[in-house]
Amino acid sequence: MAAPDANLTRKQEDAIIALLSNPRIEDAARVASVGVRTLMRWFKEPVFEKAYMKARRTAFRHSLARLQQMSGAAVSTLGKIMVDQASPASTRVRAAECILNQGAKAIEIEDIDVRVSELERAAEQSKTSGR
């Protein structure tokens, strides 16, 4: 998961991978075959910390991509529940609320994206015309 970094030792790379897949530092240290104190010392090294943060961001981006891949199935599931007359009314209402709320959030995000793009364009034009 973590890309090799020329500035890290193999043990440090192993430790980063272990940290990404274990909730406790003690467990990560054991998996990486290093001491907890060693791992804690590495966290104080800027190169290690930077590599760890980069690996965390990469892992999180992968998780977000997986969420996006599954969103179609999630919407289908909600839609099926919403229209299923055999489902309790409260369940159908909750599915409908979820669909409406998420749809509204998506519109809000799109609107914000448009506004930010317009502001960035205006700022860029201001910079170029101010020269």
pLDDT at residue 129, rounded to an integer: 84
Q: What confidence category does residue 5 fall into, taking pLDDT thresholds of 50, 70 and 90? A: low
* Burial category of 105 from C-beta neighbours within 10 Å (exposed 0-12, middle 13-18, buried 19 and up): exposed
Task: Please state the domain extents for the chain.
Answer: 1-71, 84-131
pLDDT > 80? residue 73: yes
What integer is the mean pLDDT of 76-104?
96
Q: What type of residue is 71?
A: S
What integer is the mean pLDDT of 57-73?
93
At residue 5, what are phi and psi to the nearest 5 degrees? -120, 125
pLDDT mean across residues, the chain = 93
pLDDT > 70? residue 10: yes
pLDDT > 70? residue 53: yes
pLDDT at residue 12, rounded to an integer: 96
